[in-house]
Chain A
């Protein structure tokens, strides 16, 4: 029988998946300034800068101005130790980050703070061309900035998970296996059959089936762990996943 939500929560807590997630560390720091909290927040920002950039672009700013504003926001966000403003009542990192950006983009904040960045602060590494490609290719002209932010957030999450998964396989010397099997991640047949892949990799078909099963298991663990990084409570992982499914499938 599949585990209930409570059992799932307990097992995840026991495995230590949740105890060390970034957003829970930030929230646990409360008003105190702690290096782990600062590092956790910086890690989150490094992962999820693209949704913010897309949001700023969708608000009507040009490429260079959006880049400048997003970078300025992160610099100020981290410099001000913004985690001291965060508490569990503020909800998930996704919504907290967007609300913080919206606040930043108000005229007062821009006027007061926009030019204060620089000087030993953390710079988010940019791949501006990729970000702008996303901006151009993903968004219907009429999509609201908030919707654009959430869509890119979901896609950034998946890209991060697949990136980590690929790195795990590379570390184990199995990059070729990952490349061959990744199309099977969501559970239906890929373009090539198990037999064809087995033949290409010099493995048996049974071994490929086992490898696909393990890949899916590992992917699922990585996905839930990554979502857990952005929520304040293990109970929220499934809710966050359902929310993002609705975003991506257009139900929201």
Chain B
């Protein structure tokens, strides 16, 4: 049975091969040329951000793992519980506008109500010194864009893809049942964890269904144009908005270069067999 301990310093999962207490990630980092600014941390670490300190609230920031138009996500260690989490903050920090803060909290509250194995769960929501943040599961793995790029379009790849679609569709269906519409479902917002399970993240454009029903006849439905399902490209009446992501459920896998991700027959077989999820 492989050892699944995590490094106390950086959170890297130490598998059976890690000799003694030595963490391979930390060992490799020791070889990097020191930052010319004199920081102890390297270019990937939290010290490179102008808006945060290496230690924030109950969290020790380890490295930046994602950055979008509004938010930045760090791999962090929650000191009180000694666990590795993903910590999301507003990019503008204390300079964030009221609208940015409101959208940030909508995202946090939307996900906080979702408990599903294929959705990245939120642990904590808070504010420290005007900096809003929430912590969530740290998913050890890659996003779907990168996973697909390794596909060789063999039978095993098709089966895996079918399993991903199944998990994603179930999660989106569940979210809709809870009244949450993601509105930005795309490969880079789907993380594939160490157990090859898809985990939906980044609900930054999400809306509660009751809000969408009131407003989506005027609002842009959100997300990139390339990721929109057919129904999302037209200004549909409010009541149909919840169907859009379901229509698009196969789409995150269709955006990779190459042949269609799942030949129909194989997809059917996989679903009937449980989809490998």
Which of B21, B23, B33 meets A238, CB within 8 Å?
Answer: B33
Residues of chain A within 8 A (CB-CB) of B35 are: 2
Chain A nearest Cβ from B53, distance in angstroms: 20
Chain B nearest Cβ from A103, distance in angstroms: 15
Residues of chain A within 8 A (CB-CB) of B140 are: 250
Q: Residue on B with the closest CB to A8?
A: B33
A237 CA to B33 CA, complexed, in Å? 9
Stretch at the interface among B6-14, B108-116, B236-244: B6-14
Mostly, the B contact residues are loop
Chain A nearest Cβ from B248, distance in angstroms: 25
Verify if B235 is at the interface (C-beta below 8 Å from A).
Answer: no
Verify if A106 is at the interface (C-beta below 8 Å from B).
Answer: no
Which of B19, B31, B194 meets A241, CB within 8 Å?
Answer: B31
| Cβ B32 vs Cβ A249 within 8 A | no
Verify if B183 is at the interface (C-beta below 8 Å from A).
Answer: no
Verify if B34 is at the interface (C-beta below 8 Å from A).
Answer: yes
Verify if A227 is at the interface (C-beta below 8 Å from B).
Answer: yes
A1 CA to B160 CA, complexed, in Å? 50
Residues of chain A within 8 A (CB-CB) of B141 are: 250
| Cβ A1 vs Cβ B38 within 8 A | yes
Interface string of B15-39 (1 = CB under 8 A from A): 1110111111111111111111010
Per the 8 Å Cβ criterion, residues 173-232 of A in contact with B are 182-183, 185-188, 190-191, 216, 219-220, 223-224, 227
| Cβ A250 vs Cβ B142 within 8 A | yes
| Cβ A248 vs Cβ B25 within 8 A | yes
Residues of chain A within 8 A (CB-CB) of B70 are: none
A8 CA to B35 CA, complexed, in Å? 11
Residues of chain B within 8 A (CB-CB) of A162 are: 19, 22
State the total of A-B contacts with C-beta under 8 angstroms. Answer: 108
Q: Contacts A158-B28, A227-B31: A147 and B150 contacting too (C-beta < 8 A)?
A: yes
Q: Residue on A with the closest CB to B10?
A: A249
Verify if B217 is at the interface (C-beta below 8 Å from A).
Answer: no
| Cβ B16 vs Cβ A185 within 8 A | no
| Cβ A185 vs Cβ B27 within 8 A | yes
| Cβ B24 vs Cβ A146 within 8 A | no
Q: Contacts A182-B20, A245-B25: A251 and B65 contacting too (C-beta < 8 A)?
A: yes
Chain A nearest Cβ from B222, distance in angstroms: 27
Verify if A65 is at the interface (C-beta below 8 Å from B).
Answer: no
Q: Contacts A2-B36, A3-B36, A138-B2: A187 and B19 contacting too (C-beta < 8 A)?
A: no
Verify if B146 is at the interface (C-beta below 8 Å from A).
Answer: yes
Verify if B196 is at the interface (C-beta below 8 Å from A).
Answer: yes
| Cβ A248 vs Cβ B12 within 8 A | yes
| Cβ A220 vs Cβ B150 within 8 A | no
Verify if A140 is at the interface (C-beta below 8 Å from B).
Answer: yes
| Cβ B146 vs Cβ A252 within 8 A | yes
Q: Residue on B with the closest CB to A223?
A: B31
Given contacts A137-B2, A186-B29, 15 further A-B contacts (CB under 8 A): A2-B38, A3-B34, A8-B33, A138-B2, A138-B15, A186-B22, A186-B27, A186-B30, A219-B30, A220-B30, A223-B30, A241-B29, A245-B29, A250-B12, A250-B141
5 example contacts (A-B, Cβ-Cβ < 8 A) are as follows A5-B33, A142-B160, A158-B27, A182-B22, A220-B31
- Chain A residues close to B by CB (< 8 Å): 1-5, 8, 134, 137-138, 140-142, 144, 146-147, 154-155, 158-159, 161-162, 182-183, 185-188, 190-191, 216, 219-220, 223-224, 227, 237-238, 241-242, 244-245, 248-252
- Chain B residues close to A by CB (< 8 Å): 2, 8-10, 12-13, 15-17, 19-36, 38, 43-44, 65, 140-142, 146, 150, 160, 194-196
